[in-house]
Structure 1
Amino acid sequence: MNELPNPVAHTTAPPSQHWKQKAKFQKRLFILLATFPAFGGYILFTLYPNLLSAYYSLLDWDGIKEPVYVGLNNFKEMLQDDYVWRALWHNMLLMVTVTPLVVFISIILAYLLANKGYRFNSVFKVLFFFPNVLSLVAVSLLWSFVYDGSFGLMNAGLRLIGVDIGNYYWLGEKKSALWATIPPSVWGAVGFYFVIFLNAMGTIPKSLYEAAILEGASHRVRLFKITIPLMTPIIRVAVLFLMLGVFKGFENILILTNGGPSGSTDVIGLYMFNIAFGTGVHNYGYASAIGMMLFVILVVVKLVIDKFTTNRDSEY
């Protein structure tokens, strides 16, 4: 007599298969729980506000009254707004001056401390990084005292070397206000990138420098032929962060000049902030449209940097 097949024997997976499925589920659950805070924060504080801003850019809304849908009118008005183009021009000037200055000074300082063997290297590291310990508000207030016309260090230093310009207010004159905001930005950023470049230089094999020294290479040759080429990926990332940060940042200018005098230091981020939260009539819709334009500009800048810079790993 033939025995009937046991359906349980065919449907029940072996114990090893059950263990693999359970381990796979636990792994996926762990990954989900581990990444949820980061992804949740990104969705809540980055993605959702950006989508909301895109929606607001289509409205005429002051934050209190009932919003009115205006379509692309905010963008049309923005393209005809001379203040927007003036602010963008100031952003461009700051971007092409602050970025190379920060990178150049940071690389030079890092190279000197990494290769010169100064006695008080640790002290210099603390001094160079000190501005990053201070808040941006403290740094801006400090430099506002430096530029003060009556008792500022800038005018006092010029008088010491025989240049007496009187009680000149650097932040109160249109021809000097924008340029006066550059040193605080550079001074506040050099310490951070100095540490990054110093750590990157520590990964370069010493044998390369020893071979260059035996060949009679000077410090300038070693810097431009060995150090900088091998640090190109790090420099590229630093340039990207600096350009994007300078283009969208406005906090120091808000404290130093608030865009004055007569808009000579106005930047696009500050202009957008004043339209949304400044004194007078608030227009969240128009400010959001400017924010969308700034987002597109930053994406284009990122793509241009990726297009014209190499992204190869360093090879020793």
Structure 2
Amino acid sequence: MRVDLYGDKKTIVRRMGLQKASVQRNVFLFVAIVPCLAGYILFTLYPNVMSVYYAFLNWDGITAAQFVGFDNFVAMVKDKFVWRALSHNLVYMLVVPAVTMLLSLILAYLLSNKGYREGTFYKVLFFFPNILSSVVIALLWAFIYDGSFGILNALLKLVGINNGEFYWLGDTRTALWALVLPMIWGGVGLYVVIFMNAMSGIPKSLYEAAVLEGASHMQRLFRITIPLMSGVIRVGVLFTVLGVLKGFETMLIMTNGGPEGSTDVIGLYMFNLAFGSGYHNYGYASAIGMFLFVILIGAKWVIDKYSPKDDVEF
């Protein structure tokens, strides 16, 4: 009986090659995943778990912590400043996403269907605020609203409205609404680009048929474009709402919650409790953070439940 040594040798070499490839694959996965996983555990998961623990403590970060149970949550319910800050969040949550999405849709539709020769330039122009950091945007708009040297007062004066050296961020009647424009301006450009890419996938034959039926641009936008982009719009609304609820950088830089707390939001109030000058209460701030987490989950659930999410096939 003849033994095929050559065949056995090929089998052994093949197995060794497979084993070597498996080892290389495991090493690659280890090198690619473990550092990211370690960073996530160290900088995201661990702080969030510890914040749940801190919520049941009375601790200033220096002295010995004291376990107080649910006292922080009871105090939070009775804290009028928490509810005032949350009411400001709700105002921003209702206004900023709605205006941002509407402006982004209209601008994206015009750039996609009007055939402007300068379309690429406009696209870059609208996207420009998104390459700026939130700090730069806040400082830019703070200068625009300045009473002595601000551009807004100068423009109003040119059209015959002379309100003197009115400080838009220093008046309780205007400060809250003055912060809406920077948030909208900083977000429109990104969604213009996203919506333009989504519109490019809609068959042109649908628009051609609508034109033959005599549909106007607004009718085509609201009866064809928006329904076929409902999934993309839903994601945009979700990101914008969650960003408005948990964000506070603009308020921190432009007003720090003033004047008289008229621009305070829940994230800024929590930040000042934990890291503000002269007062540190990490336990109470962590309790508010857990409350904010519940609000974020609730907002996402409402958007997922009541927004259209049927897949559209062309």
TM > 0.5 fold call:
yes
Structure 1 residue 215: deviation in Å? 2.3
Return the offset for 1:105.
0.6
TM-score, with length taken from structure 1: 0.90
Residue 265 of structure 1 deviates from its aligned partner by 0.5
Cα 1:314/1:22, change in 2 over 3 Å: farther
Equivalent position to 1:111, from 105, 109, 112: 109
Structure 1 Cα separation of the partners of residues 128 and 24 of structure 2: 45
TM-score by length of 2: 0.91
Q: Who is 1:260 aligned against?
A: 258
Aligned residue number for residue 73 of structure 1 = 71
Give the deviation of 1:312 after TM superposition.
2.1
Deviations 1:160-190 (A, max 9, x none): 1222212111000011100000001100111
Cα distance in 2 for partners of 1:231, 1:17 equals: 51
Cα distance in 2 for partners of 1:32, 1:216 equals 60
- Where does residue 159 of structure 2 map in the other structure? 161
CA 1:15/1:313 → structure 2, altered by over 3 Å: closer, same or farther? farther
Query: Letter of the aligned partner of 2:171 in structure 1?
Result: E
Shift of the alpha carbon at 1:31? 4.9
1:1-316 to 2 correspondence within 5 Å?
A: 31=29, 33-316=31-314
Where structure 1 has 5 or more consecutive residues not aligned to the other structure, the ranges are 1-13
Q: Identify the range of structure 1 (21-30 vs 243-252) with the bigger mean alpha-carbon deviation.
A: 21-30
1:97 partner letter: V
Partner Cα separation in structure 1 for residue 235 and residue 189 of structure 2 = 16
Give the match's secondary structure for 1:175: coil
Structure 1, 149-158 or 245-254: larger mean CA deviation = 149-158
Which secondary structure state, in structure 2, belongs to the residue aligned with residue 174 of structure 1? Answer: coil
Alignment CA distance shift 1:38-1:215 (3 Å): farther
Task: Letter of the 2:304 partner, please give it.
Answer: D
In structure 1, the partner of 2:8 is none
Give the whole-Å Cα distance in 1 for the aligned partners of 2:39 and 2:200: 34
Structure 2 unaligned segments of length 5 or more: list them. Answer: 1-11
Deviation of residue 77 (structure 1)? 0.6
For residues 53 and 255 of structure 1, the distance between their equivalents in structure 2, rounded to whole angstroms, comes to 25
Partner deviation per Cα, 1:95-118 (whole Å, 9 max, x = no partner): 101110110111111111000011
Quote how far apart the aligned CAs of 1:28 are: 6.4
Distance 1:214 1:83 in 2: 57
Q: How many residue pairs are counted as aligned between the two chains?
A: 304
Please, which moves more after superposition, 157-166 or 87-96? 157-166
How well do the aligned residues superpose, as a CA RMSD in angstroms?
A: 2.0
Q: 1:38 to 1:226 in 2, by over 3 A?
A: farther
Superposed CA deviations along residues 212-231 of structure 1, whole A, max 9, x for unmatched, are: 22222211111111111111
